[in-house]
Homo-oligomer: A and B are copies of this chain.
């Protein structure tokens, strides 16, 4: 997608507007990289860019199983604790229960998860994975392991533990 841009060029604050008459067709008109230093030091900005970069990868990889990250997380939680109710899963993942309905409909329509009667409350549905759901989840777990492994390579030794620790501090309530 993005063509490689070289030319770092010194971060001079003087911007040269002229030049590069750019009449050339095949030529070398290169877009000078915009100076993003005003934002680079912000945790919020760095966090957003990193999250987008990581999810870009994850979304593409999981798409091969026709799964989106949110669907994967739902399958994962249900598999680990069968019988969870919709509200519980939705709240744990920060999804409004109203929006969780369509998400679960999709998983159920594809035969990956199912709603069954909850034991003590006839308002609730207990959630379970089907055998197909378990199979898809296993394949998804393998995909995720590869993605996370690539991130480890980028982070270097000890990087994962360090990063998880720091992110946990940010996520904790005030």
Q: A residues touching B (Cβ–Cβ < 8 Å)? A: 2, 5-6, 9-11, 13, 15-18, 20-23, 26-27, 31, 33-55, 58, 69, 73, 76-77, 79-84, 87-89, 91-92, 94, 102, 105, 108-109, 111, 114, 116-117, 119-120, 126, 130, 144, 147-148, 150-151, 154-156, 159-160, 162-164, 166-172, 174
Contacts and interface: CB of A to CB of B under 8 A. Distances in A.
Majority-rule SS of A interface residues: helix
Contacts of A34: 77, 81, 84, 88-89, 91-92
Nearest to A137: B38
Given A13-B114, A38-B80, 18 more contacts: A11-B130, A15-B116, A17-B116, A21-B120, A40-B164, A43-B155, A43-B164, A46-B164, A46-B168, A47-B50, A47-B54, A50-B171, A53-B170, A53-B171, A156-B169, A159-B169, A163-B167, A166-B166
- A-B complex: 7 closest residue pairs judged by Cβ atoms: A34-B92, A50-B167, A50-B170, A46-B167, A51-B51, A38-B76, A163-B166
A27 B111 CA distance: 30
A126 B166 contact: no
Given A17-B117, A84-B34, A54 B44 contact: yes
A81 B18 contact: no
